With several copies, the nearest count.
Chain A
């Protein structure tokens, strides 16, 4: 299950998906909108994707994780559009027979997502907004 969507992500759906009789461990990672970033009061994060390629890259991460570690099942769902404080922008769930693999694969997945998956986030903060990662000194887009 490798998907981007506008609806809130359902943690239970992912955990059910990776639940497996052969698994002794499930690791999940939930990325959430934090109310502050680099000294700014954050109001929300707004995610945009190149959706077809984003899902393809998420699946590629899953395939690579399955090659590196003995995992049973994996799911990654990323949310698009505005994500309010405390809400989930991404959830990763991995099951494995032994816990080592689930931990390693979920860690690997979030690091990879931040490197190669064509998803961008605009931070909406008190006083402006900025596309994260493209700052060059000053925020590029002021309200």
Chain B
């Protein structure tokens, strides 16, 4: 199966692209996708970063399974709004 991964902010800069299609085996989890991406884009590994995960624009857990055609986004700490 294939999923669409979008990168934003620091991850977009580190991946050097905003979007990638990734081939995965059936039943793969969000976490397994992240492992695969780190092999393809070694610079994605930001030490100590806390990440959230969204599938089809909803927050999910790292162990949720993915399905063909899913849109997956790895969400680094958000910082909208205003200065602290």
* Chains A, B in direct contact (C-beta < 8 Å): yes
Q: CB < 8 Å: which of A97, A99, A121, A141 contacts B79?
A: A121
CB-based A-B contact count at 8 angstroms: 102
Please tell me if the beta carbons of A89 and B78 are within 8 angstroms of each other in the complex.
no
Could you tell me the dominant secondary structure of chain A's interface residues? Answer: mixed
A110 near B78 (CB under 8 angstroms)?
A: no
Residues of A within 8 A of B13 (CB): 131, 141
Residues of chain B contacted by A45 (CB below 8 angstroms):
83
Tell whether, in the assembled complex, residue A53 and residue B57 are in contact, meaning their CB atoms are under 8 Å apart.
yes
Contact B82 A89 (CB under 8 A): yes
In the bound complex, do residue A117 and residue B82 qualify as a contact, i.e. CB atoms below 8 Å apart? no
Give the chain A neighbours of B79 by CB distance below 8 A: 114, 119-121, 131-133
Q: Give the interface SS of chain B, mostly helix, strand, loop or mixed.
A: loop
B49 close to A134 (CB less than 8 A): yes
Q: Contacts A118-B8, A141-B10 known; A133 to B82 CB distance under 8 Å?
A: no
Give the bracket for the number of chain B residues in contact with chain A. 20 to 34
Q: Which residue of A lies closest to B10 (CB)?
A: A131
* CB<8 Å pairs between A and B, sample of 20: A31-B82, A33-B83, A49-B80, A50-B6, A53-B54, A53-B73, A90-B81, A97-B83, A98-B83, A99-B82, A110-B81, A113-B80, A114-B81, A117-B80, A117-B81, A120-B80, A131-B13, A133-B79, A134-B49, A134-B76
Q: Which residues of B contact A (CB under 8 A)?
A: 6, 8-10, 12-13, 46-49, 54, 57, 59, 73, 75-84
